[in-house]
Structure 1
Amino acid sequence: MNLAASLAQVDGGWRPLLDAWRASPAGQQLQAFLTERAAAGATIYPPEPFRALRLTPLAQTRVLILGQDPYHGAGQAEGLAFSVPEGVAPPPSLRNLFKELQRDLGQQPPMSPSLSAWAERGVLLLNSCLTVEEGAPASHAKRGWEALTDALVQAVAQESAPKVFMLWGAYAQAKAGLIAAAGPQHLILQANHPSPLSALRPPVPFIGCGHFSLAADWLAQQGRAISWAL
């Protein structure tokens, strides 16, 4: 994991936010923590924490899907929420995402486990924490990442072009206020998390939510059409 190298590749539209965060107490605390953990021999994923900001420029963002934590297994996290690299077996939440794509839009497997094609079309696949240690979920939570990712969510919402925000699970839904405060021009879609623990449960099961078709239809009406093909 190389934080400096990953920062250097970020699209310029995100740069003012990143520079302000790096200079802030939260940013300095997080950078010191990462340096300390790396020196202690911790294995930190993903190798490119800011990949979502490289692949999806602020000005081109049409959809924001908010995750919580990168995958903590070897070879899984690739800097995009819910996504894993080609050749890696899809984790359970991603398998349920594919089930809903098939149910909602008729997409047939095999589908790529990497969602990088979405990112390149304007789907910002943002985790609230951008790093994690091997085998230790949420190990980098409340260390300073959230100050940055909350600011990124607000920045996307404050851009005047209409966007879709997909908030799956209670953690993501807690950010709805950041989006609503920016104005009524966006579509906020909320459902349970695609995890097997909640994907089929009330109040809004992920399987059956129809978010992909709802987003595609709404964006087409705004003149900002997007494809969910993988």
Structure 2
Amino acid sequence: MAFDLSRLGGWRELPFFSDTLPGIEARLAEVTGPVFPPRDRVFAALERTPPEAVRVLILGQDPYHTPGKADGLAFSIPRDFGGKLDSLGNIFKELHEDLGVARQRTDLADWADQGVLLLNTALTVPQGRAHAHKALGWKTLVHQVLDRLDTAPRALLLWGNPAQALGRRLRHTGHLRIETAHPSPLSAYRGFFGSRPFSQVNGWLQARGDRAINWADPEAS
């Protein structure tokens, strides 16, 4: 069954959707066992944040490979998950240290609605097999998204070496570029903690005459 591309807005114009996606669909059809996120959430990041709305880019890696945890937005977790937050928990710790706000909501759709593109660099993953779809063809889409975003200044949060390597594709001199260790429990203490990315992004946006991101729970805005 083909993906529903009707909600992609301006992203639908990218060549990926006609040139590369059919091959990915064919390979996904051969996968036995669960693939995350659910099929109707694979393009959630692009559907939620159209190209003209993107003010901030956060690049993830691949979706969570635990059942019920991936929702199509990088680092985001459905509110009814109930398991370990891992990287997201560390993001919330840094948010509290940076801005003094305690976020409880794990679903990051409100960030996406404010212009934060939460894009994974692989959009699917088989259950229990991290990075298994790294070479499936998703990187072609990511390259085209980055090229589309390089037309104007954005705030770039590049956490970890893979995100930073991809971020080199973004060459506009006006970007705010924040590069640190990944917030994973394995690496957060190597430079993610203490980096204060949220206040830096808001300061940059406000200096440009733009509104700040409300990183806290939406109810706290």
The TM-score with structure 1 as length reference comes to 0.88
Q: 1:165 aligns with which of 142, 156, 168?
A: 156
The Cα of 1:81 is off from its aligned counterpart by 0.2
90-99 or 124-133: bigger deviation: 90-99
Q: 1:92 aligns with which of 86, 94, 104?
A: 86
Measured in 1, the distance between the counterparts of 2:35 and 2:72 equals 12
1:64 has 2:27 as partner: no
Structure 1 gaps, min length 5 = none
Across the two proteins, how many residue pairs are aligned to each other?
Answer: 213
Equivalent position of 1:185 in the other structure: 174
Q: Give the gaps of 5 or more residues in structure 2.
A: none
What percent identity do the matched residue pairs reach?
A: 42
How many angstroms apart in 1 are the aligned matches of 2:111 and 2:2? 23
Is the CA contact (8 Å cut-off) linking 2:102 and 2:216 kept in structure 1? Answer: no
2:3 match? 4
131-140 or 149-158: bigger deviation: 149-158
Aligned to 2:17: 22
* 1:1-230 paired onto structure 2 within 5 Å: 4-5=3-4, 7-10=5-8, 12-17=9-14, 20-24=15-19, 26-37=20-31, 41-47=32-38, 48-88=41-81, 89-109=83-103, 111-158=104-151, 160=152, 162-180=153-171, 183-201=172-190, 205-225=191-211, 226-230=213-217
Structure 2 CA distance for aligned equivalents of residues 90 and 227 of structure 1:
24
What SS does the corresponding residue of 2:187 show, helix, strand or coil?
coil
Looking at structure 1, the residues matched to 169 and 199 of structure 2 have their Cα atoms a distance apart, in angstroms, of 24
Q: Which moved more, 1:219-228 or 1:99-108?
A: 219-228
User: In the aligned structure 1, how far is the partner of 2:80 from the partner of 2:21?
Assistant: 34
**Aligned letter for 2:203?**
D
Q: Residues 122 and 134 of structure 2 are in contact (CA less than 8 Å); yes or no, is this contact kept in structure 1?
A: yes
Q: CA deviation at 1:228?
A: 1.4
Deviations along 1:78-117, one digit per CA (max 9) or x if unpaired, are 00000000122352100100000000000125x1011111
Contact residue 70 and residue 77 of structure 1 kept, 8 A: yes
Residues 133 and 34 from structure 1, CA distance in 2 versus in 1: closer, same or farther, beyond 3 angstroms? Answer: same
For the 8 Å contact 2:55–2:115, the answer to whether it is kept is yes
Supply the distance in 1 between the matched residues of 2:64 and 2:93 (Cα, whole angstroms): 20
Please report how far the alpha carbon of residue 3 of structure 1 lies from its aligned counterpart in structure 2 after TM superposition. 5.3
Once residues 23 and 80 of structure 1 are traced to their aligned partners in structure 2, the CA distance between those partners, rounded to angstroms, is: 23
Give the alignment's Cα RMSD to 1 decimal.
Answer: 1.4
Answer whether contact 1:84 1:90 (CA < 8 A) is retained. Answer: no
CA distance in 2, matches of 1:122, 1:71: 22
Q: Deviations over 1:139-169 (max 9, x none)?
A: 11111000111111221122x2x21010000
Q: Which amino acid aligns with 2:135?
A: K
Q: Does structure 1 conserve the Cα–Cα contact (< 8 Å) formed by 2:74 and 2:118?
A: yes
SS of the residue corresponding to residue 85 of structure 1 reads coil
